[in-house]
Amino acid sequence: MPVKQITVSMALLAMLVAGGPVAPAVADIAGDPLMAQSWHLNGDGPMGIASAWERTTGGEVVVAVLDSGADLRHPDLAANLWTNPGEIPGNGVDDDADGYVDDVHGADVVNRDGDPSDDNGHGTHVAGIIGARRDNGIGSSGVAGRVRLMPVKVLDARAAGDAEDVAAGLRYAVAHGARIVNVSLAGPRPSRPLRDAVEAARRAGVLVVAAAGNDGRALDDAPSYPVSLPAANVLGVAAARRDGGLVAGSNYGAAAELAAPGEDILSTARGGWYELRSGTSVAAPMVTGAAALIASAAPALDYRGLVSALTMSAQTTSLPSGTRRLDAGAAVGLAASGAAAAAVARDAAGAPAGRVVLGRAARVRSGGSAKRLGRVLRAARLRPVEQRRIRRRDAVPHLFDRIDVEVERLRERGLGEPRGDADAQAAGRQLQQREPLILVHRIEHRGKRGGRFGTAESHQAVDDAPQR
């Protein structure tokens, strides 16, 4: 059904929901003509974006999008694409010796070439949420309207892939200077290459924002990867509706620390178009875009500071497992004030007295009662939901020997002053002095491959071809 290339009204959006097309907006209209239809960007209510934009709309922060690629010619994306400084366009030579010929704007890990063009559409939509160009008279805007998008194609035309390609894409992004990596995909099992790539990103100070997945499950009971990896630099995101509740099918749990808008999100589509999608795949890039705003406002922050700003500023909700709502404005303000950096410095200087420092996996020899364990957990300053999560990991909670505790991120993000009564603090100090925590290796997940990976969203498809 043809649509005139003028403004896009609510009637046209209704057509899109029903499967009809939305035409690209013409470029001579001031501002971004689809902003009114981008509910997540209207005011501070959905995610605090208005306050964030008062401070910054982004900058030269490099954000990698590990996905199905991107429409490199989309008029709302082209101006914000990252350019590889070590590559000479079109000469047929791998100038920077990274294994990809002419990878000018990113790489295609699936086909092993330098053209990350999108043959599915998922990656184009995700990229637009993060960084569609702001105030260019076209379409809408990304959360960070000024950013450098590095598309890395790790999913094929069916939006499917494997852990090894995701790991290779992550290594590429880190090697080429990405500060933030968006991973709007999920798989049933981890793999050693993926874990190693995430760890390498952590050592490089890179934040990985991961979709929680759309299976409608508790991640504590049915982990999904990479969101469930016990890594301090992985920040999981659930999808929220307009009314603040969870989007139907969104996974949830302690690994999904934040919730962000994930229902009927308008963003870029292949061929210069725009479309609506829902799910955690579209919620994760909200957080990624917010992290890019923080990084532009506070360039010295690494993943620890970014996570601190995002989680310390998040709003309390009634969502499962204590998941909190993204507040981009408060996060940017926190980073700009130096509070996030101060929290990281406080942790780096050593934990306060009474705080039990836990690594990714720890062996606790409590030798006592469940009551004593409760005191220790409180002294460790874990939230009640995190305490319950730890207790569920063993049938005899006060005698559990090895706990796969995904709390390194808690140690590194700064949680304020210790909580709990004096007795709990004394118990924590006693445990540290007499029965120290012994760090042990993580419980390995066996298997040569990490299973098939796929996207984490539902798609309201545009069936008709664009009408020019």
**Which residues belong to the active site?**
67, 122, 281
- Which residue has tokens 């991107």? 70
- Which residue has tokens 């420092």? 357
CB of 387 closer than 8 Å to CB of 377: yes
Please state whether 92 falls in left (phi above 0), alpha (psi between -120 and 50) or beta: left
E strands present in 270-346: 273-278, 324-325
CB of 69 closer than 8 Å to CB of 154: no
φ, ψ for residue 231, nearest 5 deg: -125, 135
- Residue 411's SS3 state is helix
Listed in sequence order, the residues at least 6 apart from 433 whose beta carbon sits closer than 8 Å to its beta carbon are none
DSSP 262-285: -SSEEEEETTTEEEEEESHHHHHH
Name the strands in the sheet holding 185-186, side by side, starting at the edge strand that comes first in the sequence.
160-162, 452-455, 185-186
Listed in sequence order, the residues at least 6 apart from 326 whose beta carbon sits closer than 8 Å to its beta carbon are 47, 48, 237, 258, 259, 260, 286, 287, 290, 310, 314, 315
- Residue 290's SS3 state is helix
- In this structure, the number of other CB atoms found within 10 A of the CB of residue 401 comes to 11
Token pair of 422, please?
A: 């004096």
For the chain, what's the residue count?
468
DSSP state of 59: E
φ, ψ for residue 160, nearest 5 deg: -125, 155
Token pair of 205, please?
A: 């100070």
Spatial distance between the Cα atoms of 30 and 5, rounded to a whole number of angstroms: 15
Residue type, 296: S
Widest distance between CA atoms in the chain: 75
